[in-house]
Amino acid sequence: MDQPGGGIILSGESAGPRVDGVAVVTGASRGIGRAIARQLSLCCQVVGFARDAEQLERTGALIAADGGTFVARVVDVTVHEAVEKGMAEVADMLGGIDILVNNAAACLRGGLTDLSASVSPVVMPVQGGKSGPAAAC
């Protein structure tokens, strides 16, 4: 079923009852992450992680207009400690997390040998270490 503005309705009245769970969506400030957050808001409360507070507010306004609930959290998922802290705060605030969508991504241009040491842990965690997205799991 098509919805205004394009896309497919993945849940909602025709798909069954509301789940009333908590979903965390990383990269919820735009693009695919925003679309996922909007769809999930039809069946549960959504917490969006992203670095851009203004765009997170926009996502929240769209979800509110759709009748859903959204909590915006400015979290840089490339920073392991920030993700751990954000996930713990959400779990404490809302009583747990039922769904995690690790959507955030980074687009780095250049060849593998051109990447500096400062970005390589974001792309490929050091053996035994965890990247920010891995901290959410």
pLDDT tens readout for residues 83-121: 999 999 999 999 999 999 999 876 666 666 666 655 555
Predicted confidence (pLDDT) per residue in 12-37, tens digit: 444 445 567 999 999 999 999 999 99
Range of the domain at 93: 13-127
- 87: in domain: yes
Indicate the helix (H) or strand (E) that contains 136.
Answer: helix 132-136
Total number of domains constituting the chain? 1
Report the distance separating Cα 82 and Cα 69, nearest Å.
23
- 6: in domain: no
- 1: in domain: no
- 106: in domain: yes
- 108: in domain: yes
Q: E strands of the chain, at which residues?
A: 22-26, 45-50, 70-74, 99-101
Indicate the pTM of the whole model: 0.72
* CATH code: domain of residue 109: 3.40.50.720
- 8: in domain: no
